[in-house]
Amino acid sequence: IMLDGLTDNRNRTAPEIKKIFEKRGGSLGNSGCVNWMFSKKGLITVKTDAIDEDSLMEIALSAGADDMENTGEVYEITCDPEAYEQLKKAIDEKEIPTEVAELSMVPQTTVPVDSLETAKKILALMEDFEDHDDVQNVYANFDIPDEIVSRIS
């Protein structure tokens, strides 16, 4: 898990973040210790019912996209940060509605989570971070299979 934060008091925030990690069975690493697991990318998602895959692929690739994946509900388009504005402009010009359009940290590889208990712990940890006032973004490299997600209440 990697966090982006913005605080006016590092002496307050760092112990709070450390406590959240420890409460959920994790530990706080040094600043930047997991950066190598993520790549900065432009990320744009489009609902699959907004446009057909081939048309979107053609628009995306001609505008500098690196990859496009159909996740079932959305098309996830990624690009280098330098190509993001051009890609977003190309999609906007075609009046294709986007769900997400941002620069993000995308995991280079994912770690499968194969137990319901572990999945619940990770999701609770993510929720705790998202609720913290000084945490701006939360990035993670876990992959919880749909069958486990459907069992989480």
Residues in CB range of 35: below 8 A, 6 or more apart: 2
Name 42's bridge partners: 79, 103
Residues 72 and 26 in one domain: no
- Give the count of domains, the chain: 2
Q: Which two tokens mark 39?
A: 């790549």
Residues 75 and 125 in one domain: no
Q: Which two tokens mark 94?
A: 């075609």
What is the CATH number for 64? Answer: 3.30.70.980
pLDDT per residue of the chain (153 residues) written in tens, 0 to 9: 999 999 999 999 999 999 999 999 899 999 889 999 999 999 999 999 999 999 999 999 999 999 999 999 999 999 999 999 999 999 999 999 999 999 999 999 999 999 999 999 999 999 999 999 999 999 999 999 989 999 987
Q: Which domain holds residue 120?
A: 2-33+110-149
Residues 62 and 81 in one domain: yes
